[in-house]
Amino acid sequence: MAKFVPRGIIPAMATPTDEWGNINEGALRKLVNHLIDGGVHGLFPVGSQGEFFALTMEQKKKVIEIVIDETRGRVPVYAGTAALTTKEAIETTKMARDLGVDAVSILTPFFTNLSQKEVIGFYLDIARAVPDLPVLLYSNPGRTKVPIAVETVKELAAVDNIVGIKDSSGDMTLTAEYIRVTRDMDFSVLAGRDTLIYATLCYGGTGSITATANVEPRLVVEIYEAFMAGDHRRALEAQYRLAPLRLAFELGTFPVVIKEALNMIGIDAGKAIRPVGPLTEENRARLRQVLQDMGVVKA
């Protein structure tokens, strides 16, 4: 069987919730179709943008079930299965596998300051527990304080079912090194910082797992599709047009900006799960202006 190759634009989906933090199934199904209609190449529920850290196991299960059901095989479904401990990460990964996901992406554990030996052990234990399921590493040291070293990626890339990495470090030199040391292996490097999608593709990356695609999937897909067609000017211009939305993340506490942007375009994502609060009125107006400038909402 051919090895699973993560590629293209894969939105890190927001999780629509009501005012009590319950899953809004109707809005989630609407979001699935909004994204697929926008041309995305996969869906990634229950990641950081999906507020995995604020969801119970039953809520995670419900989100994955709904996304798989609504997707109906039109694109691959990746699931976030991050956890603080190896045991919980394996349990969550097995749950996602049993529901029928195509792959999982697993953030490094957070709070604990792991060594690289421990990082390798964490991913090896999970990969061995689900040998039939493609696994993506997920590096986001700005939030977890646990980096994934280049040599660690190279070692893990040799494992049959470890197929790629989402790199949200924002460090293009590090991304480039991940690509360089694995370029002769069946291993995908995907941008996790939305301002670096075009740059990652230029270096040899295979796509992006991206939060901004929730709001304007067609624009993010344009970066990838234009690049693959050899139209670098159009790909770069699309990257330029996308940048203000990613930079707008500074207007509030992650992950509230994308949820509020979705509300503005007519998808009822609800509020961020507390303790994350809403945007100020001033910053909400600034976000609306960004969306107006992008042509996503009317003035």
Indicate which residues carry an active-site annotation.
138, 166
Residues 53, 54, 56, 62, CA torsion sign: negative
Using one digit for the tens of pLDDT, what is the confidence trace for 91-132?
A: 999 999 999 999 999 999 988 899 999 999 999 999 999 999
Q: Is residue 101 part of a domain?
A: yes
Q: Is residue 21 part of a domain?
A: yes
**Residue 77 token pair:** 């479904």
Q: Say whether 209 counts as a known binding-site residue.
A: yes
Domain count, the chain: 1
Mean pLDDT of 191-206: 98
Mean pLDDT of 225-243: 98
Q: Is residue 278 part of a domain?
A: no
Instruction: Identify which of 186, 218, 229, 293 has the alpha carbon closest to the alpha carbon of residue 11.
Output: 218
Q: Is residue 258 part of a domain?
A: no
pLDDT number for residue 299: 77
Mean pLDDT of 268-288: 96
- Residues 10 and 8: their CA atoms lie apart, in Å, by 6
Using one digit for the tens of pLDDT, what is the confidence trace for 35-86?
A: 999 999 999 999 999 999 999 999 999 999 999 999 999 999 999 999 999 9
pTM for this prediction: 0.96
Q: Any idea what the CATH number is for the domain that residue 40 is in? A: 3.20.20.70
Q: Is residue 280 part of a domain?
A: no
Range of the domain at 101: 8-246
Q: Is residue 289 part of a domain?
A: no
Provide the strand spans (E) within 116-211: 135-139, 162-167, 188-191, 207-210
- Average of per-residue pLDDT values in the chain: 96
